Amino acid sequence: MSTTIDSTLNEKRTFTASSDFITKATVNAEKLAILRKAAAEDHEGFWGDLAKEHISWHKPFAALLNSNRAPHYSWYDDGELNVSYNCLDRHLSTRGDKTAIIFEGEPGDTTHITYSELHKNVCVFANALKNQGVKKGDRVIIYMPMIPEAVIAMQACARIGAIHSVVFGGFSAESLKDRIEDTAAKIVITADGGNRGGGVIDLKKAADAALDKGCASVEKVIVYQRTNTDVTMQTGRDIFWNDAIEGMPESCEPEWVNSEHPLFILYTSGSTGKPKGIQHSSGGYLLNSIVTMQWVFDIQDNDVFWCTADVGWITGHSYVAYGPLATGATMLMFEGAPTVPDAGRFWKVCQDHKVTIFYTAPTAIRALMKAGDDFPNAYNLSSLRLLGTVGEPINPEAWMWYHRTIGKEKCPIVDTWWQTETGAHMIAPIPGAMATKPGSCTLPLPGIAADIVDNDGNIIDEPNKGGFLVIKKPWPSMVRTVWGDDDRYQKTYWAEFDNKYYVAGDNVRKDEDGYFWIMGRTDDVLNVSGHRLGTMEIESALVAHPRVAEAAVVGRPHEVKGEAIFAYVVLREERPESGINEELTKELRSWVGEQIGAIAKPDDIRYADNLPKTRSGKIMRRLLKVIARGDEITQDTSTLENEAILDQLQGKS
């Protein structure tokens, strides 16, 4: 980590919400000033007051922040609560008949589920889990399509104090196996299949393949029938969801857990080969998901909130499975791809269900922008009042298209910076209280001490000077540890600046108004379509192929995906002439798909006799990045052991 970027981006436009939006907003400028002042005066007390206000505690807490085991922090750790109770039970008397979930499947089937129904379904399934032997603290893997049952499964785990780990349905059997084994999960909840991209994804088949490879901890597999495709059921191990819930009682006393009890583990990529299991708490996590629903999304009783993220990502945890329900909102869940049957699908869903708040990733915005304005213009988008983005920097051009063509210039856009590790939005606009700028995630939220430091850990005050994004004070929804690898937790997030700051791994600058502009990662992590992938992870997958001797993976800018995956491969056999071998490239791409998942397939593979290395054997990645972009090499290459290889890599020899 040693880059400092002086940014050249110079975006000056600012936008403010309409007076109508501001009048109705939960947080206006005056309220925001009060929040900021309270947070500045008493950081812990600020978060303590919010935790009292927004969470229904079974046993009230007295403790606020506990730093005794720094850099391990805990919050409210003498309090007891249940997250599912906070998402469901507490709404029953006031909103029992309100729609909690509007679901639309990819084939077009729709369902509405009220809070009372959802509560009942969660209780029934929680009892089924208990009946299958799941106890407080047990790990449960959820490998499901984007259907209400995925949320029901997560909520049911929360209800009985089981720790869920959701694995994105697009991950391969191999990835699933790694996560099952790392968590030593007792139960896997999956489905026969899910509808995606016009076809069916065979989840149970992948789960079977994972279980065939090991996974000795797994006792039971619960299978929801979504696509009614044929599945093989292993006697004694596998049970259909409908059979598992048969005769289960409709009420289930919540398991009251300590505020620090792990709610879930979610794997995310880092600098090394294996993804890390980010462990989140119950009380602190819940609090930030609630306050950000209110501050950033301005969630109100008559809203229809749609976050397009899959439950397999953190966004689908905080803004599908927990935040919307904890705030008693109506949310939409959509099973499919944005382009099925055509690129108008998202806009049709917005129209048909009168979506008011729409939250998606820049990659989706860019892809839909490319498809042309005829698609959005064919639908009535007048219900929309607020738009959001997450996952990667949004380029001003895509921001303006979103603003004009989707928001009709009347919807504020909240560009939300956060991470799997932060649990909830950290740097984001409060739309009724401040101006936005295209491409900036704006300012840190109240109580979030985000800042920028140089290589030595000194705060950078100078505007537009790039540095490392750090968080200077603990916040309730912060990562607690890396499951099974606490050392990695300390090294990855704290060691860089002697445990003083949480290090996010992003490069960022602040402009003259203090607005934050994210400029990319400082580590070997790629952001492909808003998803984090470790270059090492992809390299390990490539090297596992019998024909591959060595591999180096870098990112290259991509118009729609943000970053594309570029792999340099040294074979165990003769290098193909011209450095290209389409047949083998096809094979390696599908190999990586099997090892990790389709999102990790390299976009380009170039074959070489060797990789550019220093005399000590370190691969010079920055040179590989330059070549992948097709740029001329201007750096000094004299320290290379094999300078001549550069010509070959550039296709010059």
User: Shortest Cβ contact with ligand WT7: which residue?
Assistant: 420
Smallest gap from residue 531 Cβ to ligand WT7 (A): 6
Q: What's the rounded Cα separation, in Å, for the pair 72 and 273? A: 24
Nearer CB in complex with ligand WT7: 393/412: 393
Number of residues that bind ligand WT7 (CB under 6 A): 21
3-state secondary structure 460-499: CCCCCECEEEEECCCCCCCCCEECCCHHHHHHHHCHHHCC
> Rounded to 5 degrees, what are φ and ψ at 56?
-90, 110
Does 416 interact with ligand WT7 (rule: CB under 6 A)?
Answer: yes
Does 415 interact with ligand WT7 (rule: CB under 6 A)?
Answer: yes
Please compute, for residue 473, the number of CA atoms within 13 A of its CA located in the half-sphere on the CB side.
17
Choosing from 262, 432, 444, 505, the residue that interacts with ligand WT7 (CB under 6 A) is 505
Does 527 interact with ligand WT7 (rule: CB under 6 A)?
Answer: yes
Does 310 interact with ligand WT7 (rule: CB under 6 A)?
Answer: no
Compute the C-alpha angle 640/646/652, nearest 5°.
160
Nearer CB in complex with ligand WT7: 223/478: 478
Smallest gap from residue 498 Cβ to ligand WT7 (A): 21
Please list every residue from 371 through 390 that binds ligand WT7, using CB under 6 A.
390
Sole window of 241-249, 415-423, 452-460, 480-488 interacting with ligand WT7 (rule: CB under 6 A): 415-423
Q: At what angle do helices 203-212 and 173-183 cross, to 10 degrees?
A: 60
Smallest gap from residue 278 Cβ to ligand WT7 (A): 8
> Rounded to 5 degrees, what are φ and ψ at 474?
-60, 150
Q: What's the rounded Cα separation, in Å, for the pair 127 and 75? A: 29
Q: What's the rounded Cα separation, in Å, for the pair 430 and 440? A: 13
Residue type, 457: G
Question: Which residues have CB under 8 Å from 89's CB, separation 6+?
Answer: 119, 254
Does 419 interact with ligand WT7 (rule: CB under 6 A)?
Answer: yes
Question: Which residues have CB under 8 Å from 25's CB, separation 6+?
Answer: 17, 298, 431, 432, 433
Please list every residue from 420 through 439 that binds ligand WT7, using CB under 6 A.
420
Please list every residue from 248 through 277 that binds ligand WT7, using CB under 6 A.
268
Q: Would you say 471 and 426 are in contact if contact means Cβ atoms under 8 Å apart?
A: yes
- Residue 385's alpha-carbon distances to 21, 297, 304, 406, in angstroms, are 8, 10, 10, 10
Nearer CB in complex with ligand WT7: 428/605: 428
Does 532 interact with ligand WT7 (rule: CB under 6 A)?
Answer: yes
Smallest gap from residue 315 Cβ to ligand WT7 (A): 5
Does 170 interact with ligand WT7 (rule: CB under 6 A)?
Answer: no
Does 315 interact with ligand WT7 (rule: CB under 6 A)?
Answer: yes
Does 443 interact with ligand WT7 (rule: CB under 6 A)?
Answer: no
**Count of beta carbons in the 10 Å neighbourhood of residue 9:** 14
Q: What's the rounded Cα separation, in Å, for the pair 363 and 392? A: 8
Smallest gap from residue 179 Cβ to ligand WT7 (A): 15
653 CB-contact burial (10 Å; exposed 0-12 / middle 13-18 / buried 19+): exposed
Please list every residue from 281 through 300 that binds ligand WT7, using CB under 6 A.
none
Sole window of 162-170, 239-247, 295-303, 499-507 interacting with ligand WT7 (rule: CB under 6 A): 499-507
Smallest gap from residue 428 Cβ to ligand WT7 (A): 8
Smallest gap from residue 527 Cβ to ligand WT7 (A): 6
Smallest gap from residue 508 Cβ to ligand WT7 (A): 9
Choosing from 91, 480, 521, 606, the residue that interacts with ligand WT7 (CB under 6 A) is 521
Query: Where do the DSSP E strands lie in 124-171?
Result: 139-143, 163-166
Does 506 interact with ligand WT7 (rule: CB under 6 A)?
Answer: yes
Interface residues toward ligand WT7, by CB under 6 A: 268, 314-315, 390-393, 415-420, 441, 504-506, 518, 521, 527, 532
